[in-house]
Every structure is written in C-alpha cells, then in structure tokens.
Amino acid sequence: MKLNWLSRYSVLIIAIMCLLSRIPLLSSENLILDGDECLVGLMAIHSSELKEVPLFFYGQSYGFSFIEVTTIRLFYWMFDVSDISTKLAMLFLWSLGIIFFYKALKQIEPKNNQWAPLLVTLVFIFSPSFAIWSMKARGGYLTAFLFSSIIIYLICHNKWKFNSLVSFIIGLLIIIIYQSQPLWLVGLIPLLGYHIFLNKQVSQIILAFIGMFVGILIFNYYKEGLPTYWNPHILSWPDLKFETIFSIPRKIYYNLAGNYNYADIKKPIFITKFLAVSVLISIFASISIGLFYLFKKKKINPLFYVACSSVIFSIGYLPFLNRFEPRYLLPLSGFAFFMIYILIDSFKQKRVANFILILFISLGAYALYEFKNVSFENKPALISLINELESKNINHVYSEDGLLQWQLIFYSKEQIIARFKSNIDRYPEYIRLVDLAFEEPHTKTALVGFFNHESSSTSSSFKLINETFFIQTPINEKLLIERGFNLNKFNSN
C-alpha cells in the first residue's frame, strides 16, 4: 500500500491528535494550575510587563524555564492570561517534542512496517503517562522533553548526524537539558555514546564539546550571584534492600498510569491500569528479548540494544532517589516507546502488531477522556476564597500553605498578594509588600489557609469558605507568630 498521503500529512495528523487528545482535560471543570504552575505563570506575566526576564524557576539556580516562560508569554498575548492559556502553551511545547520523536522514528532503518512510526507515536500521545504532564508548566520538564527529542532526531538523522554544526548543537542542547531537568540526560547517555562510536571524526566530537563548553560559560555567567531559595538533594547512595528493588515495577506503574500530582497518587480507572500494566510488561519484555537476541546473536538493528540501555539507565537511578515522586520517571516513556518501536519494526507479523497498536490507541483515547474527572484540588473553592477576599477589600494575605500563596496571586491576577511563613521565599518582593501592608493601620490584611480542626475558631473574625479554606481577619502579630510566620520589619515611610 502506498502511504505517500500519510507521509505528507503525518506531522499535521500528530499535531491535531495532540490537541484533540487533551480537549477533555482542557474543558474539564477540574482544570486548575497547581502552585508551581502559577509561579511559572507569574514569571510569564512579569516577563511580558518587562519587569524582568527570568531564565530559571524563581528562587532556584536550576530548572531552566526561559523556553516555557516565553511560550506562555506568547499564548497570554494571543489569548489573555488564564490557566487554559498556560496549559495550551505547554501542550504546544510537548507537541513539538512528540513531532521530533516521530521524525526520529522515521529516520531509523530498516522500516519493515511503514505504519509503525505513526502508530507508535499515536500510542505515545494517548499514553496515560503524559496525560497530565503534557500540559504542566513546571520549570524545565517540558523543555528537557523537547530538546531530548530533538537530540534523538539529530542522532538518528541519516544525513545530518555527522554534520559539524549538528555536533555543536547537540553539545549545546545537552547543557540546556542539564540546566532544565538533568534526569533526561541519564537515558540519553547510551544514545550519545552510540553516536560518538559511529562518528569517527574527532573534529565533530571536539565541536560537540565546544558546544557544551559554550553552554556552560553562558549559564555560569548568568547564574553568578543568583539567589537560591530551594535546592533539594534528591539523590543519595542507595540502600539496596529487597523491598527497594521489588518496589521498582510499582513505581514505574505509578508513572505510567499518570494519575498523580506531586506525591499524591490516585487510583486510576481500569483501562488506565490496563494500559499502564501493559506498557510496563512491554518494557521488561523488550529488554528480555534484547538480552535473548544478544545472547543468541540474532540479527536486529543495533540501535535496539542502545535503546534498551537508555530504558535501563532511566530506571536505574530509582534506587538513588532519597524520595520518590512519579514525575521523576517522566523521561522513561519516550525512551521506552523508542525501544518498542525498533522491536515492532522487526516483527514479521505486521498486521498483528498494527492491530495491537491501534487497540492501544483506542483504549488510550478513552483513558485520556476519563482524565477529565481527575481532581487533586478544589478550583471553585479557590475562586470563592479570592472573591471573598476581594469583596472585603483585602489585597494582602498571609498564607499557611506554601503553594496556595502562588495560586491566590495568579488567579487574582496579582490583585491579591500573598506570602508564606518564612521571611525568605522564591519572590521576596511579595513578602515585602504583605508585611508593609500589615504594618499599615488603614490597610486590611488576613490569614488564609486550608481548613482543619487546628485552624478552626469560633471567633467572629474566622470565616469558612466552601468547607475547604478559611479567612481570619483582622489579625495581629501575636497570632501570626503563633502560626509560625517569620515577620520582617519594614519602615512603611
């Protein structure tokens, strides 16, 4: 069968599928930006107002966010400031990464199955693993995904992979990925090693290192003196107990199911479970087949063994994490589907393979539709809280939750300024503004937070909002200190 029409419109088909697959989530009443996403949105607002040009996630010297912030700023310009505009901007970046992933598959020879590049890419699009994170503005994750896809494409490109300029670009992109989210580099190591092995020209290898060196110089210059509010250490020497090793498949499953936010993991529907388990089995089955082929010296594209190594590397850092959140395994999906594609392309039973891929696409479409019902936060309650504060002319609040503060600021479009308990935070200007307002006798301030029994009060100054949040006003210094707030003292004159 001639597939000229498919090749001509394949990129357009992929772009449309990326958008259509996310419409249920975009139109869901549960759509809400988490605290970190709101902070990235505020970075985009500040950038558009020319207050500053933030390259990194506020308060960090890592998490290169310039690409995401610039994209969000463009979508705010086109569609106004909103959570949907933020999500669409991130979906745009993710879709670009998916397109480069597809173009990388198209470069891999031989193609025994002409349908496989598109079908595997569509399986990736409808995979639950990126259902939510394909639209997450989280300071560097989607930048790393996009640029790692570009690197894989350049490494696989039949004409460009030995080009001198391409070698320099790859070196530069490696540093950008490292500054954005270095976990993607772990899976890229085998592919980069394979590229160096094939590239016999020392001059091109030197150019790649020059590209890395240029990237290091640029970032080190910018980061000099950059304040660091948050710098967690997530890697440590592993305690290789049996439970640590046996927990690896379960952790991979959590990531592949995609039903999580931070460390909050929700139980997925049956079809999502089925897809996650199926991909999990496919990953380990592919690696086992790779070992069998290697032992038996069976003929297959040598890139398959490299892809297997990328998957193993991406799983291999799990024991080194001193705390686990499913997002740390986000790099795995791309490398896994890359590996699975090469194996599928070697199958003689093309119709059977394509039928299974189409089945997975269909199930994935239903699973992604059901993600519209997934809820981790109460957006109506948040909007009610903001409306209540604005109705009382309260524009400055002390927030007992570190992420809630950013949601209040973003969703009120900075009409409400909030600060957390520490007198050092990601954006110190907000702390200064809230404390100045608190010291001003004619300005209303309030204490807000999530409602629980510890925060409850019978005082007339306490008000419950949607059984979720509370507002307490007026407030005094004694109350704030009792609640753990470190107050700065400013001279309001």
- Is 491 among the domain residues? no
Residues 282 and 430 in one domain: no
What span, in angstroms and rounded, lies between the C-alpha atoms of 15 and 142?
A: 16
- Domain-ending residue, one of 351, 373, 395: 373
- Domain-ending residue, one of 373, 394, 426: 373
- Is 265 among the domain residues? yes
- Is 339 among the domain residues? yes
Residues 65 and 159 in one domain: yes
In the predicted structure, residue 490 carries a pLDDT above the cut 60? no
pLDDT digits (tens, 9 = 90+) for 219-267: 988 887 777 776 667 766 766 676 777 888 999 999 999 999 988 899 9
Residues 432 and 457 in one domain: yes
Residues 126 and 260 in one domain: yes
Percent over 90 (pLDDT), the chain: 67
pLDDT digits (tens, 9 = 90+) for 78-116: 999 999 999 999 999 999 999 999 999 999 987 788 899
Residues 330 and 402 in one domain: no
- Is 321 among the domain residues? yes
Residues 146 and 199 in one domain: yes
* Contact present, 470 and 463 (Cβ < 8 Å): yes
- Is 490 among the domain residues? no
- Is 98 among the domain residues? yes
What span, in angstroms and rounded, lies between the C-alpha atoms of 427 and 430?
A: 6
Q: What is the pLDDT of residue 462?
A: 87
- Is 12 among the domain residues? no
Q: What is the pLDDT of residue 236?
A: 66
Q: How many domains does the chain have?
A: 2
* Contact present, 275 and 364 (Cβ < 8 Å): yes
Residues 361 and 384 in one domain: no
Residues 67 and 157 in one domain: yes
Q: What is the pLDDT of residue 239?
A: 66
Q: What is the pLDDT of residue 493?
A: 42
Residues 325 and 388 in one domain: no
Residues 365 and 260 in one domain: yes
Mean pLDDT, the chain, integer? 90
pLDDT digits (tens, 9 = 90+) for 350-406: 899 999 999 999 999 999 999 999 989 999 999 999 999 999 999 999 999 999 999
With 0-12 / 13-18 / 19 or more C-beta atoms within 10 angstroms meaning exposed / middle / buried, residue 482 is: exposed
- Is 6 among the domain residues? no
pLDDT digits (tens, 9 = 90+) for 290-322: 999 988 888 888 999 999 999 999 998 888 887
Residues 423 and 357 in one domain: no
Q: What is the dihedral of CA 46, 52, 58, 61, to 10 degrees?
A: 160
Q: Pull the structure tokens for residue 277.
A: 């388990």
- At 126, the pLDDT band (50, 70, 90 cuts) reads very high
What domain range includes position 280? 22-373
- Domain-ending residue, one of 373, 394, 425: 373
Residues 369 and 386 in one domain: no
